[in-house]
């Protein structure tokens, strides 16, 4: 006996929703998924009419679903938003060049303007070149720091009011777990926020409309909608620590699907005891980007790359920032310590 959709009770159910366990037909699933994203947007007041919103687009499933759903909801509920796609080209041959082709097709399919900013034009380094110098252990640190700033710079070039990213519920839960395991209180407090206000000049507010969407449902949505997305993993993806958190989360989800939401809620409800010291946000003395140190992370990493001292931005070398800024030479011992790439 075919199972009927538990929502419309007319059509045949084609899937069991990973988030709720309901058996639904395709149309009712699309509707439920889109409505939940709409509710998230409305409840958190993510956008105002007339705003220009840059959708961070990588060509992957999350950002492709985000672009699609944002376009659908913007029309269905007359959000009054001007949507654009914003992509970062990290310079990873065999990965990003292919996924950017997907973004270019998405641009045509969704008829949205697209801006691509590249690490090479912004920093003078591609990820291919960075990996050659730093190896495969800390490459994601460089990539993550550079991406954050690249998105802001692209957003400013496009004059967008906000950036929305495709972070899903699994990503947020994973980050909560990682920050708990590392005892990173400052990040733990920030990581569940659905939106961030501008933290200073050059920093565009960000939000995560898919914050409560399960990754499994994003995959189902993309599959049943036949969306055009790129599913290959980055060739430089070691990020072992996140990998463990991810595997742990998937194991939890398989015995208790609500674990993902439960972890997010735990993160949202944690409060930091009064008097706990938090980093004070200032600006980078070199590029003006937000930073809690004399130099922002991106400038330190770049300085390290340009000087052939790749370890400069890895670990804590804050006391060297002033030295670098005032162009004082490093001692031989300092240089030696920062040079080795066997980290």
Binding site as annotated, residues for ATP: 56-58, 62, 88, 166, 171
Residue 305 in the binding site for ligand SF4 (CB under 6 A): no
Q: How far is CA 234 from the centre of its chain?
A: 14
Question: In degrees to the nearest 10, what's the CA dihedral of 219, 220, 224, 229?
Answer: 0
Q: Which of 50, 80, 144, 308 binds ligand SF4 (CB under 6 A)?
A: 144
Min. distance of Cβ 321 from Zn ion in angstroms? 10
Binding mask of the shown chain, residues 69 to 108, with x at each position contacting ligand SF4 by CB under 6 A: ---------------------x------------------
Site residues (CB under 5 A) for Zn ion, limited to 262-301: 284, 286-287, 289, 296, 299
Tokens for 195? Answer: 């939106």
- Judged by CB under 5 A, the number of residues near Zn ion is 6
| Residue found by looking up tokens 């209180």 in the block | 185
Q: Residues 56, 65, 127, 249: which binds ligand SF4 (CB under 6 A)?
A: 127
Half-sphere exposure of 3 (CA within 13 A, CB side): 12
Asked if 237 touches ligand SF4 (CB under 6 A), the answer is yes
For 50, residues 6+ apart whose C-beta sits below 8 A from its C-beta are 80, 81
Stretch that binds ligand SF4, among 45-53, 63-71, 140-148, 333-341 (CB under 6 A): 140-148
Cα maximum dimension of the chain: 78
Strands 162-164 and 195-196: unpaired
Angle between helix 61-76 and 26-43 (nearest 10): 80
Nearest distance from C-beta of residue 283 to Zn ion, angstroms: 8
Per-residue tokens: 217: 């449902």
234 near ligand SF4, rule: CB under 6 A: yes
Binding site for ligand SF4 (CB under 6 A): 90, 127, 139-140, 143-144, 234, 236-237
């Amino acid at each position: 006996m075919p199972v009927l959709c538990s929502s419309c009770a007319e059509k045949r159910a084609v899937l069991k929703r990973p988030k709720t366990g309901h058996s639904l037909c395709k149309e009712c699933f699309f509707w439920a998924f889109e409505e939940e994203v709409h509710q998230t947007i409305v409840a958190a007041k993510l956008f105002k009419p007339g705003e220009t919103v840059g959708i961070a687009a990588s060509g992957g499933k999350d950002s492709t679903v985000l672009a699609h759903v944002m376009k659908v909801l913007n029309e269905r509920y007359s959000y009054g938003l001007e949507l654009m796609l914003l992509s970062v080209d990290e310079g990873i041959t065999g990965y990003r060049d292919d996924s950017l082709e997907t973004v270019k097709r998405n641009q045509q399919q969704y008829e949205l303007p697209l801006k691509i900013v590249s690490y090479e034009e912004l920093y003078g380094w591609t990820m291919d070149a960075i990996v050659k110098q730093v190896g495969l252990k800390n490459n994601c640190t460089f990539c993550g720091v550079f991406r954050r700033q690249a998105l802001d710079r692209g957003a400013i070039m496009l004059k967008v009011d906000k950036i929305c990213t495709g972070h899903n519920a699994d990503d947020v839960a994973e980050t909560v777990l990682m920050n708990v395991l590392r005892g990173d209180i400052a990040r733990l407090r920030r990581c569940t926020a659905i939106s961030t206000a501008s933290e200073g000049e050059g920093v565009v507010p960000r939000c995560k409309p898919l914050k409560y969407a399960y990754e499994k449902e994003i995959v189902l949505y993309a599959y049943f909608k036949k969306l055009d997305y790129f599913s290959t993993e980055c060739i430089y993806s070691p990020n072992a620590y996140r990998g463990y958190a991810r595997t742990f989360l998937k194991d939890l989800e398989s015995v208790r699907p609500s674990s993902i939401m439960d972890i997010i809620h735990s993160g949202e409800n944690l409060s930091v005891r009064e008097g706990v010291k938090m980093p004070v946000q200032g600006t980078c003395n070199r590029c003006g980007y937000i930073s809690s140190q004399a130099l922002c992370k991106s400038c330190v990493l770049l300085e390290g790359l340009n000087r052939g001292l790749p370890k400069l931005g890895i670990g804590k070398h804050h006391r060297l920032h002033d030295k670098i800024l005032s162009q004082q030479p490093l001692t031989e011992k300092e240089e030696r310590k920062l040079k080795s790439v066997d980290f």
